[in-house]
Structure 1
Amino acid sequence: MRDCAAEPIEDVQGRADARAIAIDKVGIKDIRHPVRVRDRSEGHQHTIAYFNMYVQLPHNFKGTHMSRFIEILNAHKREISVESFRDMLLEMRSRLNAESAHLEMSFPYFVMKKAPVSGVESLMDYEVTLIGESTGEDYDQVIEVVVPVTSLCPCSKSISERGAHNQRSHVTVQVRANQWIWIEEIIDLVESQASCQVYGLLKRPDEKYVTEHAYDNPKFVEDMVRDVAAQLKNEPRVDWFSVASENFESIHNHSAYALIEMDKRQPA
């Protein structure tokens, strides 16, 4: 009987490719894995992240070794963290013999919030994504946080005798930082510039408060991104940022949108 286990198995991915076309990104997408992230109030919190893991493939190789991405994830077990993010990128480049690597880690991040009047507590979830690139000696990392808030239309308030229409908005902030920044700090910064915050649980006195607070703080989508950008511009730990706001309109069948991007390292 043939000993199949002893026979060498061809590495098909390692075959040469004659088309002479490099691939910018090749890898795996949307794989779930448990992670641990730093929490300002509790120290750490455990959550589940979706990973996108890609490397650059030279023109002369037929394919990459997809299984090695999974091996890298599993090697870290449950201890994948923001701090180990760079190490994973370097490991991807080394294990896959790649000139560059790209890693995205998206996860829900939970913050316990108190209602503004009653003080009842409830969890709010925010979508956070870490985006990393490693090429040669260069390393680039961006943190993205999506913050749901309330916005109230200044025009509607100005022209209406009774009330004003408002909407829930998603403010998406991306930052390149030169020092540690808590996820909660980004959330706090955005929520402080909204017409009103969004809460998981509200009692009647809280509903009265948030309704009136939003009415007293009307914001166009343009106001939202400018006010958040002004705060980020004055934050010395941030070198580059992007802030976008999408307002899910309550009286239109479309969204309102605005975006500001600024590299503070470039001369004004």
Structure 2
Amino acid sequence: MDVSNFKDVQRDEPDIPMEIDKVGVKGVRRKISTITPKGNFFYDVVLDAFVDLPKDMSGTHMSRDVEALAEAIEEANKEKSSSLEEVLNDISNRLMMKHKYATRVELIAKTQHQYEENFTDPPTNEMANVTIAVTKDRNGKDRRSVKVEIPGLSVCPCAQQTYQEAEGVECQAPSHTQRVNLSIDLTTRDKLVRIGWLIDAARKSFSAPISSLLKRDDEYKLLKKAYSSPKFIEDLVRHAVYYCGQTLKDKEYPEDTEINVEAESLESIHPHNAYARRETTIGNLLKKERDFEAD
């Protein structure tokens, strides 16, 4: 059946002429193949794709969203794209081309990224939760964000100091420990931040890493490291922001690149969780660094 001459109902005037900010599809599951320095890597991705809709159109052509996803992923698999970021950028460009009436497209991808935790020998493979968002306007504005979340270990320095003074011991006294979920979200213009950079910044911020496989000797070494580096949840956030700044300052990212770090501590001796957050920009970090050096 040839439907090319059928009426395009989406183009009808709506009963109420009103713009729609975001319309599209959510929860499209796909597998994306990429090439990394260590070989092929496959991502299981959940995708959301949106455009805006003018007030004189009843509806958007949602099949075009799925069509754009399928075309870009097929092309990536064929051409062996070098990164997940490149595939998502291609999808967003295709969405803009297919929705001529839209002035803005937004693509959100949720997945997991495998990283190597080298605290133990041999290292273990751990998983980071990753969210990548690409927002493009037809006027050329291009905003991209990468968010990673990984767990780690923190040791309370206050409880440790109290135990040291009460018992008259000098170092590595007992304290309460907890698993902390730390997330780093960077938003910038025109290019994406590498997932691995953010994972490394987060890993270095904890009192100690966590690992899916620990033998008795590994447990001893991990606890020794943790109690040697007690940190408040505020310290974890500070360290993560600092490491992000150190990683990005020499990589030509614009100074308005936004850094958003959040940490939630799953407290072991309290029925509630602890939380901390810091938002800043590369420019602010560089200014503080210059002011510090001037002093």
Fold-level similarity (TM above 0.5): yes
Residue 60 of structure 2 corresponds to residue 64 of structure 1:
yes
Alignment partner of 1:73 out of 69, 74, 83: 69
Indicate how the Cα distance of structure 1 residues 139 and 177 shifts in structure 2: closer, same or farther if over 3 A, else same: closer
**Preserved contact between residue 145 and residue 187 of structure 1 (Cα < 8 Å):** yes
In 2 relative to 1, CA 23–180 (structure 1 residues): closer, same or farther, beyond 3 Å? closer
How many Å separate the matches in 1 of 2:51 and 2:176?
47
- Greater shift in the superposed pair: 61-70 or 120-129: 120-129
Q: Deviations over 1:19-49 (max 9, x none)?
A: 222111111111111113454x514411200
Structure 2 residue aligned with 1:202, among 211, 214, 217? 214
Q: Distance in 2 between matches of 1:16 and 1:112?
A: 54
Render the CA deviation track for 1:220-246: whole Å, top value 9, x for unaligned: 111111111122233313532111111
CA separation of 1:113 and 1:101: change in aligned 2, threshold 3 A: same
Q: Bigger shift: 98-107 or 173-182?
A: 173-182
Higher helix share: 2
Is the aligned partner of 1:185 residue 2:197? yes
Work out the CA distance in 2 between the residues paired with 1:250 and 1:200. 19
CA 1:13–1:171 in structure 2 vs 1: closer, same or farther (change >3 Å)?
same
Q: Which residue in the other structure is 1:232 paired with? A: 244
1:43–1:202 Cα change, 3 Å: same
**Alignment partners' CA distance in 2, 1:137 and 1:103:** 16
- Post-superposition shift, 1:132? 0.6
Given the superposition, is the C-alpha separation of residues 92 and 106 from structure 1 closer, same or farther in structure 2, using an over 3 Å criterion?
A: same
Describe the SS at the equivalent of 2:85.
Answer: coil
Residue in structure 2 matching 1:112, options 113, 116, 133: 116
Closer/same/farther in 2, CA of residues 50 and 207 from structure 1, 3 Å limit:
same
Q: How high is the sequence identity, in percent, across the aligned residues?
A: 26
Match of 2:225 among 210, 213, 236: 213
For 1:116-139, what per-residue CA distance to the aligned partner results, in whole angstroms no more than 9, with x for missing partners? 3xx133320111111110012111
1:167-226 per-position Cα deviation (integer Å, ceiling 9, x unaligned): 111111112357775422221222112100111211110011111211111111111111
Report the residue type matching 2:67 in the other structure: E
Task: Choose the corresponding residue for 2:184, options 173, 177, 200.
Answer: 173
**What root-mean-square deviation, in Å, do the aligned CA atoms of Structure 1 and Structure 2 show?**
2.3
Match of 1:251 in 2: 269
State the AA in 1 paired with 2:149: V
- 8 Å CA contact 1:120, 1:201 repeated in 2: no
Larger strand percent: 1
What is the alpha-carbon distance in structure 2 between the residues aligned to residue 7 and residue 56 of structure 1? 25
> Is structure 2 residue 41 aligned with structure 1 residue 29?
no
Change in Cα spacing, 1:254 to 1:219, as seen in structure 2 (3 Å) is: same
After superposition, the C-alpha distances for 1:145-181 in whole angstroms (9 at most, x for unaligned) are 1121111111222223562111111111112357775
Structure 2 residue runs of 5 or longer lacking an equivalent are 78-83, 168-172, 289-295
Out of 46, 50, 59, the residue aligned to residue 50 of structure 1 is 46
Distance 1:42 1:18, change over 3 A: same
Q: Distance in 1 between matches of 2:140 and 2:232?
A: 42
TM-score scaled to structure 2, two decimals? 0.81
**Please, what TM-score do these two structures have when normalized by structure 1?**
0.88
Q: Structure 1 residue 114: deviation in Å?
A: 3.5
Cα displacement (A) at 1:50: 0.6
Do the aligned partners of residues 38 and 174 (structure 1) sit closer, same or farther apart at CA in structure 2, a change above 3 Å counting?
Answer: farther
How many angstroms does 1:6 deviate by? 6.5
Gaps of 5+ in 1: none
In the alignment, the residues of structure 1 paired with residue 183 and residue 143 of structure 2 have an alpha-carbon distance, to the nearest angstrom, of 19
